[in-house]
C-alpha cells in the first residue's frame, strides 16, 4: 500500500505513524485571502502530481508567539484551511469518525498542536480522527453588512469553514477507512462553542450525528452588536468605516494587532472578554443556538456536554490581579460578569456552600467557583436541558482531576481534560501541567492502580483516567452511547436527576454533583423545558 488517496484537488500521500496512516495538512478549501477574504470557503485549488501530506498546514494568522508546545507548527498564513486525518487503515472497514475543532478564544490555536495528536485515540479506539483548522480572529469572525456585498453572507466565516470541512469528511472519509454515516464532532472552549452554534446551523444538519461539547456554551452576538464591534475594530485600524475593499488590503498581522487592542478594552457588563464571536446573522445562524435547540433543531443529534470544575483558574494565569483579589474587586467582577444577579447575593450563597464543603471561601476561591459556573457550567447545563427536551441521547460530565502545576493552585482547570481525551497526557511539554513529576501516572502521588469505576474516595492513575475518557468518547462515536466497560453505564442526563459522569481521582456517575451553588443561577436563568420552567435571560 503506497498511502495515496484521491481528494478534491488532487492526490495526497500520507505516511505511516506508529501503526496509523497520517495525512497532514490536506486542503479542504482554497486560501481565503485577497478577494476571498470574508467570503464563504471555496473548493480547493487543484494541484498537479501527488501532494505530500507529512506536515500540518500553517496556522491561521494569530498573535505571536503562536506556538505553545515544542513540536507545534509555527508558520502562519491565510492559506490555513487544511485538515489532518489519522486512520488505522486505508480499507473498507467504515470506522466511526471523530472530527476535532480546536479552541483558543476564537483568536489563536491550531489543529496541528501536539496536544491534539490522536495516535492513542485513533489506534486503540479503531476510529478515524480528523483535526480541522479554520479562520481565526477578524478573518474568521468579523461581521458587518458591508462584508456581504455581492454574496448575501456577512458573518460566521469560521463556522462556514467548519461546515465545509464536514462536507469534505462526508465526501472523502470512506477513502480513509471511515464511515461518513458515523461522524461525531468534538471540541473544547471556542471550538466547542462553535459546535454549539453548528447544532443550530441549518447548513450543518445531517453532517454529524454526534457532538461532544467540552466547556463550550453557545455564546453568540446579535447582528447589530457585531456591527458595532466591527466599527470599533476598523477604528483601531484608522479607518472611518467598515469597507470590504479597504480591509482586503490590510496585512494579516495588522488585523491581528487591531483585534488585540480591541480585546484589551473592558467588555460590556454580561459580555465575554472576546469581542468577536459567532453571530446570529439570520443566515448561517437564523436564531440563537439555545432557541434553535429548544425548538428541536438538533433533535437528531446525540450529545455529550461537560465542563471542568475550576475553569477560571486557567484565565488567572494571564491575570495576576486574581491572586490579590479583595472583596471589592470580587464584587466588581461579579457585577460585570453577571449583572442580572446582585453580587451580595452571589457572594453570600457561594460562601455558604463552599464553607460547608470545607473549600476556600476567599475572594479568589469565590471567584473561581462562581465564575466557572457563570461562564461555563450553568450555560452548558442549559444547553444540555434544551437538547434533552428533544433527544434522550444527551449526556453530561464534570471533570475534576487536579493539575499539579503552580503548586496545585489550578485545580481542575480549563482545558485540562484535553490530553486525557487524546492520550497525550504523558507527552513531553504536557505532563508537567497534567500529571507532574515522577512517572506521571499518579495524582498527588497517592493510590494504587485503581479502576475507573471504583467507588468515591479511591484514587486512579492518569493512564486509567485517560483510557476511561477515550473509551467513552470512542463508544459514543460508535453507538451514540458513551457507556463502556471502563466506566460502566453512563445514564442519559435530565433536568431532574441530573446524572453526571465525574472524571477525576475516581470515575463514576453522581446525581447532581456540586449542585447546591447552582440554585442562584437557576432562579434567574432556569433550565429550558425542565419541570415547566421557561427560558431565562442568558443565552437566549
Return the residue matching grid coordinates 481565526: 136
- Quote the CA–CA distance of 185 and 45 in Å, as a whole number: 26
Please give the grid coordinates belonging to residue 200. Answer: 443550530
Burial class (CB in 10 A: 0-12, 13-18, 19+), 319: exposed
- The yes-or-no answer on residue 414 being catalytic is yes
Q: Which of 398, 502, 420, 330 is nearest to 120 (CA)?
A: 420
- The verdict on whether 189 is a catalytic residue reads yes
311 is catalytic: yes
**Chain Cα centroid distance, residue 412:** 16
CA distances from 41 to 25, 107, 136, 144 (A): 16, 19, 14, 18
* Rounded Cα distance, 34 and 8, in Å: 22
Q: From CA 260, how far away is CA 273, in angstroms rounded?
A: 11
Cα gap 215→477, rounded to integer Å: 19
In order of 384, 388, 396, 421, 492, the CA distances from 305 in angstroms are 6, 11, 5, 14, 11
Under a CB-based contact definition with an 8 Å cutoff, are residues 499 and 511 in contact?
yes
Contacts of 493 (CB under 8 A, 6+ apart): 305, 384, 388, 394, 395, 396, 499, 500
Buried b (16+ CB within 10 A) or exposed e, 28-57: bbbbbeeeebbbbbeebeeeeeebebeebb
Contact indicator for 140, 62 with CB cutoff of 8 Å: no
List the catalytic residue out of 102, 108, 172, 311. Answer: 311
C-alpha to C-alpha distances, 90 to 3, 5, 27, 183, nearest whole angstrom: 8, 9, 19, 17
The C-alpha cell that represents 148 in the structure block = 456581504
Q: Residues near 106 by Cβ (< 8 Å), separated by ≥ 6?
A: 136, 137, 140, 141, 158, 190, 193, 274, 276, 277
Catalytic residue among 144, 414, 431, 535: 414
Per the residue annotation, which of 122, 154, 189, 506 is the catalytic one?
189
Catalytic annotation, residues: 189, 311, 414
Amino acid at each position: 500500500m503506497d498511502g495515496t488517496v484521491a481528494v478534491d484537488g488532487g492526490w495526497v500521500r500520507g505516511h505511516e505513524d506508529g501503526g496509523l496512516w497520517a495525512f497532514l495538512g490536506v486542503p479542504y478549501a482554497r486560501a481565503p485571502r485577497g478577494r476571498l477574504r470574508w467570503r464563504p470557503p471555496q473548493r480547493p485549488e487543484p494541484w498537479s502530481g501527488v501532494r505530500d501530506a507529512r506536515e500540518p498546514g500553517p496556522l491561521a494568522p494569530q498573535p505571536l508567539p503562536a506556538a505553545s508546545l515544542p513540536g507545534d507548527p509555527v508558520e502562519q498564513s491565510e492559506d490555513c484551511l487544511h485538515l489532518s486525518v489519522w486512520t488505522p487503515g486505508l480499507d473498507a472497514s467504515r470506522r466511526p469518525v471523530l472530527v476535532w475543532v480546536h479552541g483558543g478564544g476564537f483568536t489563536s490555536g491550531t489543529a496541528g498542536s501536539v496536544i491534539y495528536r490522536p495516535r492513542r485515540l485513533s489506534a486503540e479506539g479503531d476510529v478515524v480522527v480528523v483535526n480541522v483548522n479554520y479562520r481565526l480572529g477578524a478573518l474568521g469572525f468579523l461581521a458587518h453588512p458591508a462584508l456581504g456585498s455581492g454574496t448575501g453572507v456577512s458573518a460566521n466565516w469560521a463556522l462556514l469553514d467548519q461546515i465545509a470541512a464536514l462536507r469534505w469528511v462526508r465526501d472523502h472519509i470512506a477513502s480513509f477507512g471511515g464511515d461518513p454515516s458515523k461522524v461525531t464532532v468534538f471540541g473544547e472552549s471556542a471550538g466547542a462553542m462553535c459546535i454549539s452554534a453548528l447544532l443550530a446551523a441549518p447548513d450543518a444538519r445531517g453532517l454529524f450525528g454526534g457532538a461532544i461539547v467540552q466547556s463550550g456554551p453557545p455564546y453568540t452576538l446579535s447582528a447589530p452588536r457585531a456591527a458595532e464591534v466591527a466599527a470599533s475594530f476598523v477604528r483601531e485600524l484608522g479607518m472611518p468605516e467598515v469597507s470590504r475593499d479597504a480591509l482586503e488590503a490590510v496585512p494579516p498581522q495588522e488585523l491581528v494587532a487591531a483585534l488585540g487592542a480591541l480585546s484589551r478594552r473592558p467588555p460590556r457588563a454580561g459580555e465575554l472578554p472576546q469581542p468577536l464571536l459567532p453571530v446570529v446573522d439570520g443566515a448561517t445562524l437564523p436564531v440563537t443556538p439555545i432557541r434553535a435547540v429548544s425548538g428541536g433543531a438538533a433533535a437528531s443529534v446525540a450529545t455529550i456536554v461537560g465542563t471542568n470544575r475550576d475553569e477560571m483558574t486557567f484565565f488567572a494565569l494571564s491575570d495576576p490581579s486574581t491572586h490579590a483579589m479583595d472583596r471589592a474587586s470580587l464584587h466588581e467582577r461579579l457585577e460585570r460578569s453577571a449583572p442580572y444577579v446582585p453580587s451580595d447575593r452571589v457572594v453570600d450563597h457561594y460562601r455558604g456552600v463552599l464553607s460547608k464543603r470545607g473549600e476556600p471561601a476567599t475572594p479568589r476561591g469565590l471567584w473561581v467557583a462562581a465564575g466557572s459556573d457563570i461562564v461555563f457550567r450553568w450555560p452548558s447545563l442549559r444547553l444540555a436541558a434544551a437538547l434533552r427536551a428533544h433527544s434522550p441521547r444527551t449526556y453530561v460530565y464534570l471533570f475534576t482531576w487536579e493539575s499539579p502545576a503552580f503548586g496545585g493552585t489550578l485545580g481542575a482547570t480549563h482545558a485540562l481534560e484535553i490530553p486525557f481525551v487524546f492520550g497525550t497526557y504523558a507527552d513531553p511539554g504536557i505532563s508537567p501541567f497534567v500529571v507532574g513529576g515522577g512517572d506521571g501516572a499518579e495524582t498527588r502521588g497517592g493510590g494504587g492502580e485503581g479502576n475507573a469505576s471504583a467507588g468515591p474516595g479511591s484514587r486512579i492513575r492518569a493512564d486509567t483516567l485517560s483510557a476511561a475518557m477515550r473509551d467513552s468518547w470512542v463508544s459514543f462515536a460508535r453507538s451514540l452511547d458513551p457507556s463502556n466497560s471502563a466506566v460502566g453505564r453512563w445514564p442519559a442526563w435530565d433536568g431532574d436527576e441530573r446524572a453526571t459522569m465525574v472524571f477525576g481521582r475516581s470515575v463514576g456517575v453522581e446525581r447532581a454533583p456540586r449542585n447546591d451553588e447552582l440554585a442562584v443561577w437557576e432562579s434567574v436563568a432556569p433550565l429550558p423545558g425542565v419541570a415547566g420552567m421557561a427560558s431565562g435571560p442568558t443565552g437566549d
